[in-house]
Chain A
C-alpha cells in the first residue's frame, strides 16, 4: 500500500467528515491501525476542522452545560477523571499496614509488660521495706540477747532465783545482779500475765529488820517479749521479791500478793 498516495487521495478528510461508505470507512480504519503516519494525518485533519467549526460558533456555549447536567440529573459525585495508569502493586501498602498493626501489637505488649514490671517493682520495694524492718527488729533483738548473754556470762554477776510462793505455786523468776554497775536484771518469764488493773512490782529487801525498797513496776510486762527488765539497784539487797500491786504500784509491798521471793546468797 502506498501510504503517501492513500493520504493524498483525500479519503482521510472524508473519513473525518463522516462522508464515506461503510466499506471505505473500514478500509481507512484498518489502514490507520496499521500505519501510525496515517493516524497522525487523521488527527491533524480533525484538529483543523475542530478549529474551523469552533470559529463558526457565535460564542463558547459553556453555560449550556449546566442545563444539560440538570436534564441528566447529575449527582456531581463522580471523582475526577484520572489518566489510566498501570495498576499499582498493592503489596507495599499491604505490608505497610501489616507492619503498623504488628508494631501496634508489639507496643501494646511492651506497655503491658512495662506495667507488670512496675507493679512488681512496687511490690518488691514494699517487701524490701518490710524485710528491712524485720532485720532492724532482729538486730535489736540480737543486741539485746547479746547484752543479756554477756550479763549471764559475767562472773561478777549474782544469780538469784526467786521461788514460787503460795499464791502462785508454778511461778518463778530470777534476778541477775551486777553489784558494781548497780544494775539488776529481772527475768519474769515464769510469771503469769497480770490480771487487768494489776501490775507486778519488784522489791529489794533487807531481812533484819525486813525493809522493802521498790525497784520499780513491770508496767511493760506484756509488751516486753524477753520478759527481762533492768533496774538500777544501789541497795545492799539481801533478798528480792515480786508482788502483784494495783496499777501504778504501792509504797510498800502487799505481802498477801507475794508471787516470788529469793534470798541473795553471800
Chain B
C-alpha cells in the first residue's frame, strides 16, 4: 500500500516513482471523479489535472496530514466539484437520476478486477440504503460529518458509527 520511500522519491521528482504512484491510484481516483461527473471525457480531463497537481505539489504532502490516498482523494474531489461548475459540465444533457456510486456499480459490467467485482456486486445487493447514502456523501463527495448529518437528517453523533458498520460489511465481502 502506501510506501513512504516511493512518496519520498516522488517528492524528489523521480518520474518512475510518479508512474508507480499513477499505477497505484489512477483507477480508484478516476472512479471517485467519475462518480461525481458521470462523464468519461470530463473525468479523464480532471484525472489529468489531478495527477499534474500531484507531481507539482508533491512537496506539500506530509505524512502528518494523513494518508497519501486521502491527500490525492481531496485533490480529486475538489477538482471534480470545480468541474461541475464549468460550462462543459452544464452543457451535458445528462440524465442525473443516478445519484449514488451504487448506481454506477449496478450498471457496470466490465470490471478490471473480476475477483473484487464479485464481492462488490454482492456488497451493493446487501447494503442498506442509508449506507449507500453515507458512503456516497462522506467518501465520494467529501462531505463533513456535519454536512452529511444535515443532508441525511440524522444525528451527527451517529454518523461515525453508522459509517463504520457500512464499511465493515464492505470489508467482509472483500475479505480485507
Contacts and interface: CB of A to CB of B under 8 A. Distances in A.
B92 interface: no
A17 interface: yes
A150 to B, nearest CB: 104
B117 interface: yes
A81 B6 contact: yes
A72 B52 contact: yes
Contacts of A13: 160, 163-164, 167
Main DSSP-derived SS at the A contact region = helix
A48 B163 CA distance: 14
Interface in B1-58: 1-2, 5-6, 8-9, 14-17, 19-20, 22, 25-32, 34-35, 40, 43-44, 47-48, 51-52, 55
A47 B28 CA distance: 10
B81 interface: no
B116 interface: yes
B171 A15 contact: no
A64 interface: yes
B48 A84 contact: no
Nearest to A70: B48
Interface in A69-94: 69, 71-72, 74-81, 83-84
Contacts of A218: none
A10 B163 contact: yes
A128 B78 CA distance: 100
A55 B15 contact: no
Contacts of B164: 8-10, 13
Main DSSP-derived SS at the B contact region = helix
Contacts of B19: 65
B170 interface: yes
A45 interface: yes
A153 interface: no
Given A54-B113, A57-B34, A81-B17, A68 B108 contact: no
B79 interface: no
Contacts of A71: 48, 52
Contacts of A74: 15
Contact of A54 (B17, B112, B161): B112
A1 interface: no
Given A43-B2, A56-B101, A81-B6, A65 B15 contact: no
A53 B113 contact: no
B48 A68 contact: yes
A121 to B, nearest CB: 62
A81 B111 contact: no
Nearest to B68: A46
Contact of B113 (A29, A46, A51, A67): A51
A102 interface: no
B64 A15 contact: no
A25 B66 contact: yes
Interface string A34-56: 00000000111111111111111
Interface of A: 8-11, 13-19, 25-26, 29, 42-62, 64-65, 67-69, 71-72, 74-81, 83-84
Interface of B: 1-2, 5-6, 8-9, 14-17, 19-20, 22, 25-32, 34-35, 40, 43-44, 47-48, 51-52, 55, 63-67, 69-71, 73-74, 101, 104-105, 108, 110-113, 116-117, 120, 135, 138-140, 142-145, 159-164, 167, 170-171, 174, 176
23 contacts: A10-B159, A13-B167, A16-B69, A17-B73, A17-B142, A18-B66, A19-B138, A19-B143, A44-B171, A44-B176, A48-B170, A51-B174, A52-B31, A53-B140, A54-B28, A55-B116, A56-B140, A57-B30, A57-B34, A59-B112, A68-B52, A69-B15, A84-B8
